[in-house]
Structure 1
Amino acid sequence: MSNKLRAAIIGSTGYGGVELIRLLLAHPNVEITSVISSSSAGAPIAEGFPHLNQIMVDALDGIDVEQMKQKADVVFLATPHGVASTLAPQLIDAGLKVVDLSGDFRLNSGEVYEQWYKHKPADPAYVEKAVYGLSEVFADEVKDAEFISNPGCFPTATLLGLIPLVKAGWADLSSIIIDSKSGVSGAGRGLSLTSHYSEINENFLAYKVNKHQHTPEIEQVLGRVAGEDVVVTFTTHLVPMTRGILSTMYVNLKEKHTEEEIIELYKQYYEGRRFVRIRPQGNWPATKHVWGSNYCDIGFSLDARTGRLTVISVIDNMVKGAAGQAIQNLNLMMGWEETTGLTFSPVYP
């Protein structure tokens, strides 16, 4: 009998779920024992994802909490927003560890969640139990958790790029502007006009301007770090590429600092955190530099004329922005080395 941790993935026919399958298949301490889809139960996983043919031969299970108690130790929820809010409490009450990749437990306020996500909020008692799994910042809390709320993809890139500056008190918190671009996979596998090939190919567009649901998540975490309310301007754009997020952040500094001082601040903050890579002066990251990996690369440019700092942060939205970070959180929860199963290099070119 295997002594590996047994993992179930609910939402296995979406991009986040299938990325979890890809990464967990290479994890030395985890065995996938159930892949679950409410819409495709009984069908082979390779029917929808032929690249898994002869790698994953299992048929997709339906959602059955009692069955999961027998088959799994941890459950990953890669479901659309509004599903985990009812499902996660059942799994937690059944004694299972849960890592939720949706936004249902990220926001402390049910009223704010309903306003931005347009779904009924989760039970506040379970929202309180959820630990926000930004591994590089809240690792100590993650280590003691049974229930993780995985950060959103845009917030991951943005928060990792801003938190050291905010924590140090160097940022004018009223000045933060965030300009983020994402590949089309961030919209999921479902069909829509904006992800239609002839609409997005050779096109570049802003969407959900001043209305993106990740806005309150970014503000909530920055406020937690700063110890005061933070309000940001956050604009998202869709780029005709499959993977990747590039967040460009503009921040006024309270006092004069050199680029060398800023780079040193970030190196010290992320010392020992293998998945954040700080670029040297005059060197800025691109999405291709992290493609297919769990890395976040961060670079800087300080405008001496304006006193404004530009921070550029890149991640793969499917890995560091979703499945990879979920596994990183699992590693911390289980007391394993944080990088276990995630040490592969980016794919290039």
Structure 2
Amino acid sequence: MTKRIAILGASGYTGAELVRLLATHPEFRIVALTGERKAGQPMASVFPFLRHLDLPDLCRIDEVDFASVDLAFCALPHATSQAVIKDLPRNLKIVDLSADFRLRDPAAYEKWYGQPHAAPDLQTEAVYGLTEFYRDDIRAARLVAGTGCNAATGQYILRPLIEAGCIDLDRIILDLKCGVSGAGRSLKENLLHAELSEGTQAYALGGTHRHLGEFDQEFSAIAGREVRIQFTPHLLPMNRGILASAWLDGDPQRIHAVLMDRYCAESFLHVLPFGTTPSTHDVRGSNFVHIGVVGDRIPGRALVVGVLDNLCKGSSGQAVQNANLMLGLPETTGLMGAPVFP
């Protein structure tokens, strides 16, 4: 039976990416699209690249008949998302793409997002949405919290290594380059073409990036002790993509073997031959992650490089992958499209 889907916040980049993916999903049908500031407008006027699709017009959230919805994707900003979700029907399955339910500890949420959580009961109910590591919990969940796109990239290259104990946990340096769409669709001066084009910059320096809350939570739980990595993101003048480079103390061949073993059965995660590293071009527009490992000239050190598309595998594609599990469908349904190149 076709599953009826609502997308709350469909006028943003992740909302549009959800529509793009669901347009060819064989088991999902979009029955409601919301956009508070663009309510009443056809999706084609907000995103002309979707004009070939037969879609419902954008509406307000309070106009949606949730009794006729099997699952809702919530692609709203953080803080807004928790306020909306706490008032939705308690039997409705939800995949949230915001940051509101990623951190299990209310104090951690307040630390990283600067305000108390408005729905702490739901915060404890939510399952963390890193699919390949939480799929059994996701299958049984009502509310799934999608990961941060930067956090997902870093975890895919580091989690198996922390689990295997094959790297020095006190000497993890993660350098990340990300495309501008990760900052959302709102107008920001530093994202104007003249401000961003032909240059790059580091941001959220000194351990202030909010996705560090996810790294702290997940890596410390795996290790059974506090793990605090050094993490610096950089904004690049490209639309999509994340490239994460992790400098690690450990045997490069062992690191490569651990990653190969952990991901050999995964549909979306591919570890390249030793000595080969990926480009963001390799995964653009897809739900795939590519990971490469190389040795350093200094013995006992390695570089691990991972890439994914921040709007797809880092957000909306991951959300569809989780929704498939929640609704009893094969995990890869609607997500095996090849990357777009060039």
User: Is 1:320 aligned with 2:318?
Assistant: no
Cα displacement (A) at 1:303: 2.1
Within 5 Å, give how 1:24-103 maps onto structure 2.
24-64=22-62, 67-93=64-90, 95-103=91-99
Aligned to 1:221, which of 218, 221, 233? 218
> Which residue in 1 is equivalent to 2:147?
151
Q: Which moved more, 1:48-57 or 1:220-229?
A: 48-57
> Which residue in 1 is equivalent to 2:274?
281
State whether residues 298 and 314 of structure 1, in contact with CA within 8 Å, keep that contact through their aligned partners in structure 2. Answer: yes
Within 5 Å, give how 1:167-182 maps onto structure 2.
167-182=163-178
Q: Distance in 1 between matches of 2:93 and 2:243?
A: 32
* AA at the equivalent of 1:345: A
Cα displacement (A) at 1:258: 4.7
State whether residues 275 and 295 of structure 2, in contact with CA within 8 Å, keep that contact through their aligned partners in structure 1. Answer: no
Aligned to 2:136, which of 140, 150, 166? 140
Q: Distance in 2 between matches of 1:233 and 1:270?
A: 25
State whether residues 246 and 287 of structure 1, in contact with CA within 8 Å, keep that contact through their aligned partners in structure 2. Answer: yes
Cα displacement (A) at 1:123: 2.2
Cα displacement (A) at 1:232: 1.1
- Structure 2: gaps (5+ residues): none
* AA at the equivalent of 2:232: T
TM-score (norm 1): 0.94
Aligned to 1:162, which of 158, 169, 174? 158
Q: Distance in 1 between matches of 2:287 and 2:299?
A: 34
Aligned to 2:201, which of 194, 202, 205? 205
Ranges of 4+ aligned residues in structure 1 off by more than 6 Å: none
Shift in CA distance, 45/251, structure 1 to aligned 2, threshold 3 Å: same
Q: Distance in 1 between matches of 2:247 and 2:55?
A: 48
How many residue pairs get aligned? The number is 341
Residues 81-102 of structure 1, C-alpha deviation per residue, up to 9 Å, x if partnerless?
1111121122252x10000000
Aligned to 1:335, which of 325, 328, 331? 328
Q: Distance in 1 between matches of 2:223 and 2:73?
A: 31
Q: Which moved more, 1:339-348 or 1:56-65?
A: 56-65
* AA at the equivalent of 2:261: Q
Identity of aligned residues (%): 40
* AA at the equivalent of 1:224: A
- Structure 1: gaps (5+ residues): none
Residues 108-153 of structure 1, C-alpha deviation per residue, up to 9 Å, x if partnerless?
2222212222243132211111000101111111111111000110
TM-score (norm 2): 0.96
Q: Which moved more, 1:125-134 or 1:81-90?
A: 81-90
